[in-house]
Structure 1
Amino acid sequence: MDNAQHTDASPQPGSLAQWLAAHPDLGSEFGAVLLKLVEPQNSFVTIKSLATGRYVYASSGLSVWFERSSVLGSNDNELVRADEAIAMRRIEQSVMAQGQMIISEHRLELSGRRREFTVTRSPLGPEHLLAVWHERTEERHRETHLQRALQQIEQQQQALEQARREVQRGTGRDDTSGLYLRGQFDDQLLREIDLSTREHREFALVMIALDPAPAAAQALGEEGRQRMLEGVGRMLRANTRAMDAACRVGETRFAVLLSGVGLATAHARMEQLRRQCTAQIVVLNGQDLGLSLSMGVSSFPHTASKQDELLKAAEAAVEEAMRRGGNQVVLASIAFGNS
Structure 2
Amino acid sequence: MTDVPPPIAGLDPEALERALRELLDRLDLGFAVKEAGSLKYLHVNARLAGWLGSTPEAMRGTADAQWLEASQWPALRTAENAALAMTRGALTEHKLELAGTRREFDVARIALRGGDGAPAALLGLWIDRSAQRQVEAKLALALAQLEQQQQAAEALRRETQDHGARDALTGLFQKEHFEDQLRREVDLSSREHREFSLVAIELDPLPAEAQALGTPARTRVLEALGRLLRGNTRAMDASCRLDDSRFGVLLSGVGLATAHARMEGLRRQCATQMVVLEGRNLGFTVSMGVASFPHTAHTQEALVQAAEIALAEARKRGGNHVTLASIRFELP
2:328 & 2:185 partners in 1: Cα distance? Answer: 20
1:28 offset after TM fit, Å?
4.9
Shift of 1:279: 3.2
Distance 1:107 1:263, change over 3 A: same
Partner of 1:161: 154
Deviating beyond 6 angstroms after TM superposition, the runs of 4 or more aligned structure 1 residues are none
Secondary structure of 2:248's counterpart equals strand
Task: Give, in whole Å, the separation in 1 of the partners of 2:195 and 2:292.
Answer: 7
CA contact (8 A) 1:77 1:85 kept: yes
Aligned in 2, Cα 1:169/1:196: closer, same or farther, shift over 3 Å?
Answer: closer
Distance of 1:285 and 1:146 partners within structure 2: 13
In 2, the alpha carbon distance for the partners of 1:252 and 1:259 equals: 23
Once the two structures are overlaid, the 10-residue window that deviates more, 135-144 or 119-128, is 119-128
Give the length in aligned residue pairs.
324
2:99 is aligned to 111
* Correspondence 1:270 to 2:263: yes
Q: Which amino acid aligns with 1:111?
A: A
Alignment CA distance shift 1:263-1:338 (3 Å): farther
Which residue pairs with 1:90 in the alignment? Answer: 78
TM-score where L is the length of structure 1: 0.86
Q: Residues 55-98 of structure 1: CA distance to partner in whole angstroms, max 9, x if unpaired?
A: 33333222321111225444222232334322222222222222
Query: Partners of 1:318 and 1:31 in 2: how far apart?
Result: 64
Measure the CA separation in 1 of the matches of 2:151 and 2:32. 50
Query: 1:122 — aligned with what?
Result: 110
Pairs within 5 Å for 1:238-317: 238-317=231-310
User: Sequence identity, in percent?
Assistant: 48
8 Å CA contact 2:92, 2:108 repeated in 1: yes
Q: Secondary structure at the match of 1:150?
A: helix
> 1:87-236, aligned counterparts within 5 Å?
87-125=75-113, 126-236=119-229
The equivalent residue for 2:329 is 336
Residue 75 (str. 1) matches residue 63 (str. 2): yes
Cα distance in 2, alignment partners of residues 40 and 328 from structure 1 = 47
Paired position in structure 2 for 1:14: none
Q: Structure 1 pair 109/166, CA: closer, same or farther in 2 (3 Å)?
A: same
Unpaired runs of 5+ in structure 2?
A: 114-118
Deviations 1:30-61 (A, max 9, x none): 55555555544443322222134133333322
Contact 1:304 1:338 in 2 (8 A): no
Alignment gaps of 5+ in structure 1? 1-9, 12-16
Higher Cα Rg, which structure: 2
Deviations 1:211-266 (A, max 9, x none): 22222222221011111100001111111111111111121111111111112111
Partner of 1:322: 315
1:314 Cα deviation after fit = 2.0
User: Does the CA contact (< 8 Å) of 1:302 and 1:338 recur in 2?
Assistant: no
Q: Deviations over 1:132-182 (max 9, x none)?
A: 211122222222222222222222221221111111243321000000011
Q: 1:325 deviation in Å? A: 3.0
User: In angstroms, what is the RMSD of aligned CA positions?
Assistant: 2.5
SS at match of 1:242: coil
- 2:116 is matched with which residue? none
Shift in alpha-carbon separation, 1:44–1:306, aligned structure 2, 3 A: farther
